């Protein structure tokens, strides 16, 4: 691109005769009332939440079944059974095989998916609203008569072992596993992905027994959002899922201990050209007094692009593509995560800047201007995230699991508006002081180790 100068210079491009212009003001924000949520508990104990949200002729479903293991400590065998159950729930029923299940759903433009973590089994669905009866019928069929055919299960077991090996080759997975161990020790919440060995040892009988014991309606919640009448949707659920019954209650995960302060653990990943910085400390849960102030403090620190930390390590220093902090909710509380990936040669520098910005949250608390920007972002992004059936369904399901209803969402803007700079400063002092954190750094220790250790606070 050697330039015959037919174009303007960069300097000429950046200015006009008129000069800089004033920013137009914002208009008045529309009030957006959230739709009414109709809630009913069926005789089986299943809670059903139904919401009419037209817009597109679709329906979204989220079935959340608490799915903790029986042991108080991490149980590799249970985690492996749960993971394999999740991979094979849709592979056969009393009357349909894997392909027939999928054909039945596809005919009405529907899809079901299954995911499991240490807290819950989630069966999520979506489809054309007109196909809701079929979607519910197939859902009921797998819940009550999933057969886990030997041949399907053995094949899925093999694939799962291969997929786990692929997942564990991702640096983000290595970092996540190390972080969860650091946070929660041997509590079951730390074990998010089973080992290949444990999966390979699971038998079809064990998966069927795990289903019989754990896939139960009492304690579970089904959320339905879409272009449907809520009362009719609940009636349809009652009809379709009437046969799903069991004596026991779905098992909830116990509250894990929250991480204490401590040195960062350096995890060696040979040949890494980047390092994963993962710092963590206790956070505040959504129902806690002061959560709104904590949320705003987090946004100012690293919770959105226009945060102090992002502007420093990305836009000023160029150390990273992204840096993010935020709360993760766990039974009984929350943890704060501070996460970024940086080139190996700037790992120590990035840690230094991270500690500096954490310290600055305490020493130079967020200004009124910073808080106002964070507040407007919190309210606006809430509006955007709820502006789809899927977003609303997932939010309602997550809140319900935490014992919160749609009123909590409705009142959120008001609570955010009420937060004062003093409250944000208190939250910053309580949750962002650098000494409160622990965590892990994953990278090539031969390259990054000596400079990191020289900074101190590295195990």
Confirm or reject binding of residue 414 to another protein (CB under 8 A).
no
Q: Which residues ranging from 8 to 27 are in contact with another protein (CB under 8 A)? A: 8-10, 12-16, 18-27
- 127: tokens are 């489809």
Provide the mask over 193-232, with x wherever binding to another protein is found by CB under 8 A and - wherever it is not. --xxx--x--------------------------------
> Least CB distance from residue 121 to another protein, whole Å?
19
> Least CB distance from residue 233 to another protein, whole Å?
18
Q: State residue 277 phi and psi, 5-degree precision.
A: -95, 125
Report the C-alpha gap between 239 and 254 in whole angstroms: 33
- Please say whether the beta carbons of 282 and 334 come within 8 A: yes
Q: Residue 124: how many CB atoms within 10 A of its CB?
A: 19
Q: Which residues ranging from 95 to 154 are in contact with another protein (CB under 8 A)? A: 98-99, 101-103, 106-111, 126-128, 152
Q: Which residues ranging from 45 to 84 are in contact with another protein (CB under 8 A)? A: 54-58
**Looking at beta carbons only, is 242 or 391 nearer to another protein?**
391
**Looking at beta carbons only, is 105 or 452 nearer to another protein?**
105
Q: Which residues ranging from 369 to 398 are in contact with another protein (CB under 8 A)? A: 372-373, 376-377, 379-381, 383-384, 387-391
Confirm or reject binding of residue 342 to another protein (CB under 8 A).
yes
Report the C-alpha gap between 81 and 87 in whole angstroms: 10
Q: Which stretch binds another protein (CB under 8 A): 41-49, 75-83, 168-176, 278-286?
A: 168-176
Burial (0-12, 13-18, 19+ Cβ within 10 Å), 31: exposed
Report the C-alpha gap between 165 and 159 in whole angstroms: 10
Confirm or reject binding of residue 170 to another protein (CB under 8 A).
yes
To 5 degrees, how large is the angle CA 443–CA 446–CA 450? 95
Q: Which stretch binds another protein (CB under 8 A): 35-43, 79-87, 141-149, 270-278?
A: 270-278
408: closest CA among 285, 225, 284, 286?
A: 286
**Looking at beta carbons only, is 10 or 454 nearer to another protein?**
10
Q: State residue 347 phi and psi, 5-degree precision.
A: -60, -45
Q: State residue 168 phi and psi, 5-degree precision.
A: -75, -10
* Of positions 213, 232, 255, 273, contacts another protein by CB under 8 A: 273
**Looking at beta carbons only, is 119 or 341 nearer to another protein?**
341
* Of positions 270, 289, 454, 456, contacts another protein by CB under 8 A: 270
Torsion angle (degrees, nearest 10) of CA 186, 434, 271, 160: 30
Confirm or reject binding of residue 446 to another protein (CB under 8 A).
no
């Amino acid at each position: 691109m050697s330039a015959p100068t037919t174009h303007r210079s960069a300097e000429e491009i950046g200015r006009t005769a008129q000069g800089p212009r004033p920013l137009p003001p914002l208009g008045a924000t529309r009030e957006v009332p959230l739709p009414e949520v109709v809630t009913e508990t069926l005789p089986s104990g299943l809670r059903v939440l139904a919401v009419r949200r037209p817009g597109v002729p679709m329906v979204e479903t989220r079935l959340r079944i608490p799915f903790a293991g029986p042991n108080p400590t991490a149980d590799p065998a249970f985690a492996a059974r749960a993971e394999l159950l999740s991979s094979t729930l849709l592979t056969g029923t009393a009357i349909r095989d894997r392909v027939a299940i999928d054909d039945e759903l596809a005919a009405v433009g529907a899809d079901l998916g299954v995911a499991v973590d240490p807290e819950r089994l989630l069966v999520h669905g979506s489809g054309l609203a007109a196909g809701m009866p079929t979607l519910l019928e197939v859902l009921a069929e797998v819940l009550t008569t999933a057969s886990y055919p030997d041949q399907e299960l053995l094949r899925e077991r093999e694939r799962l072992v291969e997929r786990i090996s692929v997942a564990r080759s991702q640096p983000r997975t290595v970092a996540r596993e190390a972080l969860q161990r650091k946070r929660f020790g041997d509590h079951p919440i730390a074990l998010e992905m089973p080992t290949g060995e444990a999966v390979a040892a699971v038998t079809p009988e064990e998966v069927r027994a795990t289903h019989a014991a754990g896939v139960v309606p009492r304690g579970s919640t089904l959320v339905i959002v879409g272009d449907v009448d809520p009362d009719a949707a609940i009636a349809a659920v009652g009809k379709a899922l009437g046969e799903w019954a069991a004596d026991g209650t779905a098992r909830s995960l116990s509250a894990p201990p929250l991480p204490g302060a401590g040195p960062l653990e350096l995890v060696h990943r040979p040949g890494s050209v980047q390092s994963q910085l993962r710092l963590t400390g206790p956070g505040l849960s959504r129902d806690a007094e002061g959560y709104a102030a904590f949320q705003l403090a987090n946004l100012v620190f690293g919770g959105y692009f226009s945060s102090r930390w992002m502007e420093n390590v990305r836009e000023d220093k160029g150390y990273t593509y992204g840096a993010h902090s935020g709360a993760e909710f766990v039974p009984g509380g929350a943890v704060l995560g501070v996460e970024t990936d940086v080139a190996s040669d700037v790992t120590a520098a990035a840690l230094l800047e991270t500690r500096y910005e954490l310290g600055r949250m305490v020493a130079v608390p967020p200004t009124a201007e910073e808080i106002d920007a964070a507040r407007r972002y919190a309210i606006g992004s809430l509006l955007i995230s709820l502006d789809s059936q899927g977003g609303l369904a997932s939010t309602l399901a997550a809140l319900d699991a935490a014992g919160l209803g749609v009123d909590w969402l409705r009142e959120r803007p008001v609570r955010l508006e009420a937060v004062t700079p003093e409250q944000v400063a208190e939250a910053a002092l309580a949750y962002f002081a650098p000494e409160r954190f622990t965590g892990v750094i994953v990278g090539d220790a031969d390259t990054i180790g000596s400079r990191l250790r020289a900074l101190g606070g590295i195990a």
